[in-house]
């Protein structure tokens, strides 16, 4: 019997990791770190990993799917790690950056466990990596498992994982997007029906407003930027260094080219620039729009130096695309925002998910004219600048995912993962109404359950 064990510690968007076992063979799908936990609480259930783990398959390079990879390869030294070449090129600098972040956090917060791994651990992990093109089947040694990666449309290199074991088929979605972005093309999932689908439920608690499309959201954002410039202001856009930075650079460049934005200086962070250079180098090796488009030489963004913060005074017509997207303390976006708060002509625009209790989430709740409590020694900070959110998601909407599951994938068994309890519950209820015969499960952490019907 083939089993699935959810190694994520709770039903949430956390340290995503799922263990497959068939006979003596074992394979891990993703090895993430929880973005909002600290120390060992941020890791998957590593104690459940068999030391003779054969392989890890990485869906993409985001921290909540790849951040614990050095811990896994250290605990299971014989495991090969399979991923696309773009994911490998992105994951290596991101993991080294994670070491830097954990080291800084140890010094700032006295978190004695940090760093959970070192730069040497990352280098040793990389030695176990194997890159595999999309649509090329591969096997794990001494097992029935056969795998095939399909483009997921989420970020560069992201992949769905098709799992074959004997005559049965399962699909692990990782993170996917069924709609176009500025740079990434939509995911076109392989045809069903499937025996089993392991489905991300990120946006299950978020309904898409009637009439909202990617085009309408892009135009609303560009109009808001034009209005900010017209009143003499500048724009701060807190973004993740991977994915959102490259999408926004592409959108803003296209808008400047076709006259929807005036000429403007765009600033990005150092990590964002390094990852954008990977996008440029990999542009013909991974599915994306505008395959010949090189972001850095054509957009020509300026690299923002955090050492300038003490003397910085943002000027009219500037855009700051800097991390982190959640405005985590001590990041550039968190520090820079304090310069924007007092300026009524300026604006802070969010273009992605903001966890409600994060500094970004608290700022969105406060809004223009409110005050945000960022644990400042002087108390809540008054916010005079404009605050708005534009839903430029890199995840499939819940409506699109439900339609795909019910009308195309049509699995006999559906596992709901990668979503908070409310998000998973929406999918459970919706699928039960539309396809009552489908076996819908929410795999509990740490418990081995049959993968196939």
pLDDT the model gives residue 101: 92
Contacts of 218 (CB under 8 A, 6+ apart): 182, 251, 392
**Residue in the structure block whose two tokens are 């409310």:** 422
pLDDT the model gives residue 36: 84
pLDDT the model gives residue 376: 79
Strand (E) or helix (H) holding 45 = none
CA distances from 403 to 201, 373, 396, 400 (A): 13, 40, 11, 5
Mean pLDDT score of the chain: 95
Q: Closest by alpha carbon to 318, among 304, 334, 298, 335? A: 304
Q: Determine the average pLDDT of the residues in 114-141.
A: 96
pLDDT class of 441 with cuts at 50, 70, 90: very high
**Residue in the structure block whose two tokens are 């959640």:** 326
Residue 319: strand pairing partners: 235, 266
Percent of the chain residues past pLDDT 70, beyond the cut: 100
List of long-range contacts for 145-152, beta carbons under 8 Å, 24+ apart: 145/20, 145/22, 145/25, 145/27, 145/55, 147/57, 147/82, 148/190, 149/57, 149/84, 150/187, 150/189, 150/190, 151/185, 151/187, 151/188, 151/286, 151/287, 152/59, 152/60, 152/176, 152/177, 152/187
**For the segment 253-290, what is each residue's pLDDT rounded down to a tens digit?**
999 999 999 999 999 999 999 999 999 999 988 899 98
* pLDDT > 90? residue 193: yes
pLDDT the model gives residue 296: 98
Residue 94: strand pairing partners: none
pLDDT the model gives residue 411: 99
pLDDT the model gives residue 102: 94
pLDDT the model gives residue 41: 94
Q: Under a CB-based contact definition with an 8 Å cutoff, are residues 35 and 150 in contact?
A: no
Question: pTM for the complete prediction?
Answer: 0.96
How many Å apart are CA 406 and CA 268, to the nearest integer? 41
For residue 158 the two structure tokens come to 């992201």
The beta-strand segments (E) located in 380-453 are 381-382, 386-389, 413-417, 439-441, 448-450
380 dihedral zone (left: phi>0; alpha: psi -120 to 50; beta): beta
pLDDT the model gives residue 112: 83
Percent of the chain residues past pLDDT 90, beyond the cut: 87
**For the segment 297-327, what is each residue's pLDDT rounded down to a tens digit?**
999 999 998 888 777 889 999 999 999 999 9
The Cβ-side half-sphere exposure at 92, using a 13 Å CA radius, reads 19
Sort strands 196-200 and 168-172 into parallel, antiparallel or unpaired.
parallel
pLDDT the model gives residue 309: 79
Rg (CA), the chain: 22
pLDDT class of 291 with cuts at 50, 70, 90: confident
Residue 6: strand pairing partners: 18, 445
For residue 336 the two structure tokens come to 């820079």
Domains and CATH numbers, the chain: 2-206+394-450 (3.60.15.10), 214-389 (3.40.50.10890)
For residue 170 the two structure tokens come to 């399962």
- Please provide residue 83's backbone torsions phi and psi, each rounded to the nearest 5 degrees: -165, 170
């Amino acid at each position: 019997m083939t089993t699935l064990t959810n190694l994520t510690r709770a039903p949430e968007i956390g340290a995503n990791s799922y263990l497959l076992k068939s006979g003596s063979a074992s394979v891990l799908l993703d090895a993430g770190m929880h973005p909002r936990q600290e120390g060992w609480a941020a890791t998957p259930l590593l104690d459940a990993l068999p030391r003779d783990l054969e392989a890890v398959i990485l869906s993409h390079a985001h921290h909540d799917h790849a951040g614990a990879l050095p811990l896994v390869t250290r605990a299971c030294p014989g495991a090969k790690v399979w991923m696309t070449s773009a994911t490998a090129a992105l994951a290596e600098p991101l993991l080294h950056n994670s070491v830097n972040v954990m080291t800084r956090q140890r010094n700032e917060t006295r978190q004695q466990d940090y760093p959970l791994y070192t730069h040497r651990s990352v280098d040793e992990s990389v030695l176990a990596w194997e890159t595999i093109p999309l649509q090329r089947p591969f096997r794990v040694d001494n097992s029935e498992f056969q795998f095939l990666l399909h483009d997921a449309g989420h970020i560069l290199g992201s992949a769905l994982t098709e799992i074959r074991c004997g005559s049965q088929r399962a699909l692990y979605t990782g993170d996917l997007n069924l709609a176009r972005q500025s740079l990434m093309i939509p995911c076109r999932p392989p045809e069903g029906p499937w025996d089993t689908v392991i489905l991300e439920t990120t946006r299950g608690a978020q309904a898409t407003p009637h009439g909202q499309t990617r085009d309408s959201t892009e135009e609303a954002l560009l109009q808001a930027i034009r209005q900010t410039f017209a009143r003499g202001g500048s724009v701060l856009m807190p973004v993740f260094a991977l994915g959102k930075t490259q999408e926004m650079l592409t959108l803003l460049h296209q808008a400047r080219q076709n006259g929807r934005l005036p000429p403007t200086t765009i600033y990005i962070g150092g990590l964002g620039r390094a990852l954008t250079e990977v996008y440029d180098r990999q542009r013909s090796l991974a599915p994306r729009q505008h395959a010949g488009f090189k972001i850095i030489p054509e957009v020509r963004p300026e690299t923002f130096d955090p050492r300038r913060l003490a003397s910085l005074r943002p000027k009219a017509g500037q855009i700051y695309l800097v991390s982190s997207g959640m405005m985590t303390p001590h990041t550039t976006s968190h520090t820079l925002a304090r310069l924007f708060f007092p300026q009524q002509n300026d604006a802070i625009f969010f273009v992605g998910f903001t966890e409600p209790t994060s500094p970004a989430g608290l700022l969105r709740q406060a809004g223009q004219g409110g005050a945000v409590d960022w644990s400042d020694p002087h108390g809540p900070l008054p916010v005079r600048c404009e605050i708005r959110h534009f839903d430029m998601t890199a995840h499939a909407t819940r409506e699109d995912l439900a339609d795909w599951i019910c009308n195309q994938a049509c699995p006999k068994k559906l596992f709901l993962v990668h979503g908070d309890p409310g998000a998973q519950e929406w999918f459970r209820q919706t699928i039960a109404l539309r396809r009552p015969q489908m076996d819908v499960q929410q795999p509990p952490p740490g418990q081995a359950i049959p993968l196939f019907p």
